[in-house]
Amino acid sequence: MMSEQKKGIRRLYTGDRFVNFRPVLLLCVAFGLGILFFWLFGLYSFLFTLLAVPAAAVLLLLHRFKRSPVRGKLLFSLLLCAVFAVGSLSMLLHVGAFETSPEADGDYTVVGVVEEIGAAGFGEVLTLRDVTLVSEEGDELVPGKKLVLYASAPQAEIGMLVYAEADVTTYDIRSYGKINTNAVIGGIRYRAVSSEVYIAGEGRQGVFDAVRGRVRDVLFANLDGETAPIAYAMLLGDSGYMDEDVLQNFRYGGVAHIFAVSGLHIGIVYGILAFFLRKLRVNRWIRLPIIAAVLIFYAGVCGFSPSALRALVMCLVLSVADAAGWAYDRLNSVSLAALVVLAVNPFYLFSVGFQLSLAAAAGIIVLGGRLARLLARVRFLPQKLGSAFAVCFSAQVCTFPLLLDAFGYASSLGMVLNLLFVPIISFVYAVLFVFTVFAAMLPFAEAVLLFVPGYLLQAAVTPILLFELNVLLIAGFSFGGLSALYFGAVYAFSDKINLRPLPRGILVFFLCLVLTVCMLFRNNAFGYDARLSLHSYYGENNVLLLRQGGQTCLIATGMPDGMFLERLFLQESVREIDAAVILADERETNTAVPVLLQYADVGTLYVPMDSALVDSFQTVDVVYADLFAFGAADLAFFADDILYLTLYGTEIAVAAEAAEPVPPLPRADILIADAYSAELMLAFMPQREIYFRKTDGKTSIYNTGDLQILWKSDIISISAAG
């Protein structure tokens, strides 16, 4: 009887178990769910630990009827609940620690020590620690958090004490529908803008800061202005000095991961250290602490980024397992790495960098082996080439939905470029790392030592710099929560689920079918009569896109930012703007149009009849009219900064920040404005208000993220975009 039961089970799957028991993976998942549930449900997340009671009852019933041992299962179930609770508690403590720092909004004298320096189009971006804020009334505020200062500060260096007169605002944990993960993880509570920064003296400088500053000085003094920022970003994971267009080209090519210190970098450093220590015949148990100390120090110099931490833990686990002769499970290893990173700061769970790093590593582990074995059956395909392809493809597949959701696009060239570029850049990185270490320690020889690595790096990245890689991008849709279904299908295809080919194929097909249908609904593939989507970034880049009948009308309430537009157009799959309206004065409109033209073709620009704008655009048809039509919509200017839109019986007023007081007008069903205005409220008397900036008690893009208004079959709905 027992043999028949086993035989029946084996018809469904192969291997020891349907899914092999991996305790570290389950503990990591429990910790992550604790973090996620606290973010979604707050203190109510702790109630989910009560699920341990029915779980224990089920196990006891199984023990009663099947006489199977349950003590270990009960203890592990309780451990999972405890880890879940610890995850929620960790999130509670970190949220409290960030939000207890007082808010500061207005003009302050900012004093602080420079911790990091980045480049911006207008000057520098300084990250200050040991910050003191002095108000105009002389009140001092020492918040214990960092501040990001946007200013012109060419003389500033890491470790300097600086001060500036600046306009200060406070970062919230969540803004514009997204979690400010970089700010929370970095302990950055404030954002300030100033025209000039003054040097007050030398501040306290930590060891990691000193090393980072020394590496920066060595590279920028001995490499050319284009190569030095690339070398600095590769070595320390800080791309703040890179030209944004250059960095964007690396992103378009799918190879920007070389600027995030991760498994590639840590693995190379580990290999270099292990090679030299073996040559010196150092005992393996002595090698291990030496390598661990160097890798930990290197990760510290890189700011203990999530990718560096994940790679560091995986590398150390592998080293210990290798030295002790233990069996090594890569999935448990990456789970342990993720658990350590989340224990350091639970907000890493929401960090795009951490998600991409984890997805790439997990993809290679879960999918890479199976693909490599399948490719090994292909005749005349070299095994190493097949293995390299499997690794690249697995990483690309598992980062694909995350890239689309985070950046609005994924590179279709990434596979080819990673196969060709990464082996070359890995060799260059190894040479650059070794010679930079010696150059930093030997100042008299730094120019000679960096001569060859500099030219190697320049030759390696030249193809990326020469060609425009923003072609063949995959964009125009997103996954959101449906990523879970996507990864479920990938996991089902892998060899981590022990199924026979037929049931495996049925499971994968079913998951893919459900995913496809849900994606069609999510991305509005079933059509709508008209769609008005609202997008904003820090209240200064406000854009409305009216889509109807395959045409697009853009309405901007001021000067849009180029980077913001590029990302938005990729996400919304906008290549051509049939009609454009800039709710601003002539000077700002004249500046905004060329920015638009960088990222999309513009057919017609509509401006008020009395506008003094000079038609100087060769490819844009400028129409002066107070009333005009776009598809089924009728639009009317009330001033340079107020537009009235009527569509399918819905009347919408759109107002920019500088909107002047207006006389009473026909009521608007919906008012869309930069910020609350009593004059606008009295003029339009709207039934519904939507503001771009943070507005207490009102619907705002700041709180909700992008919104969309849909018209379909005489029904109007307002919901989150995508």
> Could you report the per-residue pLDDT of 557-608, keeping only the tens digit for each?
878 888 888 888 888 888 899 999 999 888 888 888 998 998 999 999 999 9
Decide: residue 302, CB within 10 A, 0-12 exposed, 13-18 middle, 19+ buried. Answer: buried
Cβ-based neighbour number of residue 280 at 10 Å: 8
For CA atoms 3, 8, 11, 16, the dihedral sign is: negative
Alpha carbon 652 to chain centroid, angstroms? 33
Give residue 432's pLDDT. 95
Cβ-based neighbour number of residue 614 at 10 Å: 9
Q: What is the mean pLDDT of residues 32-42?
A: 93
- The Cα diameter of the chain in Å comes to 92
DSSP 27-76: HHHHHHHHHHHHHHHGGGGGGGGGGHHHHHHHHHHHHHHH----HHHHHH
Q: What is the mean pLDDT of residues 387-406?
A: 89
Per-residue pLDDT tens digits for 594-633: 989 989 999 999 999 988 888 778 889 999 998 999 988 9
Assigned token pair, 94:
């970190």
**Separation of alpha carbons 515 and 487, rounded Å:** 10
Three-state SS at 685:
coil
**Separation of alpha carbons 190 and 148, rounded Å:** 6
**Separation of alpha carbons 332 and 326, rounded Å:** 13
**Separation of alpha carbons 234 and 422, rounded Å:** 12
Q: Which residue has the tokens 């449906």?
A: 482
Give residue 696's pLDDT. 83
Assigned token pair, 5:
């039961």
**Which of 197-211, 473-487, 526-540 reaches the highest mean pLDDT?**
473-487
Alpha-helix runs per DSSP H in 442-561: 446-449, 451-466, 483-493, 501-522
Per-residue pLDDT tens digits for 5-33: 444 444 455 555 666 778 888 899 999 99
Please tell me if the domain spanning 106-205 has the same topology as the one spanning 530-720. Answer: no
Task: Using alpha carbons, list the distances in angstroms from residue 49 to 59, 88, 471.
Answer: 16, 10, 49
Q: Evaluate whether 519 touches 482 at the Cβ level (below 8 Å).
A: yes
Does the pLDDT value for residue 365 go beyond 70?
yes
Decide: residue 324, CB within 10 A, 0-12 exposed, 13-18 middle, 19+ buried. Answer: exposed
**Separation of alpha carbons 148 and 439, rounded Å:** 31
Question: What's the chain's average pLDDT?
Answer: 85
Task: Using alpha carbons, list the distances in angstroms from residue 456 to 438, 450, 451, 463.
Answer: 17, 10, 9, 13
CATH node for 106-205: 2.40.50
**Separation of alpha carbons 489 and 398, rounded Å:** 11
Give residue 473's pLDDT. 84
Give residue 8's pLDDT. 42
**Separation of alpha carbons 578 and 553, rounded Å:** 6
Three-state SS at 706:
coil
Does the pLDDT value for residue 342 go beyond 50?
yes
**Which has the closest alpha carbon to 592: 572, 617, 618?**
617
**Separation of alpha carbons 620 and 605, rounded Å:** 7
> Quick one: pLDDT band at residue 380, thresholds 50, 70, 90?
confident
Decide: residue 286, CB within 10 A, 0-12 exposed, 13-18 middle, 19+ buried. Answer: exposed
Given phi > 0 = left and psi -120 to 50 = alpha, else beta, which region is 550? left
Does the pLDDT value for residue 353 go beyond 70?
yes
Give residue 436's pLDDT. 95
> Residue 594: what are its φ and ψ, rounded to 5°?
-60, -30
Does the pLDDT value for residue 434 go beyond 90?
yes
**Which has the closest alpha carbon to 410: 318, 456, 476, 501?**
476
Q: What is the radius of gyration, based on Cα positions, of the chain? A: 28
Give residue 281's pLDDT. 84
Assigned token pair, 437:
């270490």
- Report domain extents, the chain: 20-99, 106-205, 212-345+414-468, 480-522, 530-720
The residue type found at 504 is R
Give residue 513's pLDDT. 95
Q: What is the mean pLDDT of residues 522-535?
A: 82
Alpha-helix runs per DSSP H in 475-598: 483-493, 501-522, 562-571, 586-597
For CA atoms 688, 690, 695, 698, the dihedral sign is: positive
Assigned token pair, 440:
């930093």
Q: Evaluate whether 110 touches 192 at the Cβ level (below 8 Å).
A: yes
Per-residue pLDDT tens digits for 258-291: 888 887 888 899 889 988 888 888 887 888 889 9
Beta-ladder partners of 475: 409
- The DSSP 8-state label assigned to residue 654 in this structure reads E
For CA atoms 285, 289, 294, 300, the dihedral sign is: positive
Per-residue pLDDT tens digits for 441-451: 999 999 999 99
Give residue 159's pLDDT. 81
The residue type found at 615 is D
Cβ-based neighbour number of residue 498 at 10 Å: 16
> Quick one: pLDDT band at residue 661, thresholds 50, 70, 90?
low
530-720 has CATH 3.60.15.10 classification: yes
- The DSSP 8-state label assigned to residue 367 in this structure reads I
**Which of 122-131, 229-238, 272-281 reaches the highest mean pLDDT?**
229-238
